[in-house]
A = this chain, B = another copy of it.
Amino acid sequence: MSHCDVGYHRRMARWQPDARGRLEAAAFELFRERGFEQTTVADIAARAGLDKRTFYRLFGDKREALFSGSGHLEEVLVRAVTETDAGPFEAVVAAFRRVAEEIFADRLELVRARQTIIESSPELQERELRKTGSLVAAVTAALRARGLDETTATLATESGATVFRVAYARWVAPDSDAPLSDLIADVAAKLRAITSAPTP
């Protein structure tokens, strides 16, 4: 199909009105099939039955099509740390457990496939790190809004994010079967043990 086939556009538009979602799905499929490097924005737009201009209206670059979920993730985390009275580290760990249950639990195969794509490209790894950075900033700001000082808020968020990353890496590993939420609780307990040793 050509992107000049307006009839096709109209039909696609009726079936899947969400251009963003169509482009994301097309990008994900193509990155899996051909690899990230071998896929162009024109390929993604064509697969979605749209044009490059529409892609660039919605995404800053090719990488961005793989990271649209990060906004929702951030919302859930921020709400969770805002709505609790738990101590800062507990609050962040609990927020990541909520994300594990609400967002990740039923999507292990998709998450594994996405992880494989990200690991194939240093550019995607860089973008992922930047997304994590902005998510950490949002959670830190939410803790600050609860009246915590900057250092405490940052340490709690960064430590919670570390716990999440370690648990997540175990969860996506090929031989894993424990639920992500349980892995987060285990890893958080381990971090407590490591940092509780008395200062010499």
The reply on A187 being an interface residue by CB < 8 A is: yes
Number of copies: 2
Closest to A156 in B: B194
Secondary structure at the A interface, as helix, strand, loop or mixed, is helix
- Docked CA distance A189–B88 (Å): 15
A interface size (C-beta, 8 A): 36
CB distance from A89 to the nearest CB of B (A): 5
The reply on A155 being an interface residue by CB < 8 A is: yes
Report yes or no: A152 in contact with B190, Cβ–Cβ below 8 A.
Answer: yes
A-B residue pairs in contact (CB < 8 Å), sample of 16:
A86-B200, A89-B194, A90-B199, A90-B200, A126-B126, A126-B127, A126-B129, A151-B190, A155-B162, A155-B163, A159-B159, A159-B191, A159-B194, A162-B162, A195-B195, A195-B196
Binding site for B on A (CB under 8 A): 86-90, 122, 125-127, 129-130, 133, 151-152, 154-156, 158-159, 162-163, 165-166, 170, 187-192, 194-197, 199-200
Other A-B pairs, 12, CB within 8 Å; known A90-B200, A155-B166, A159-B162 = A89-B194, A90-B197, A125-B130, A125-B133, A126-B130, A129-B133, A152-B190, A152-B194, A159-B159, A159-B194, A162-B162, A189-B199
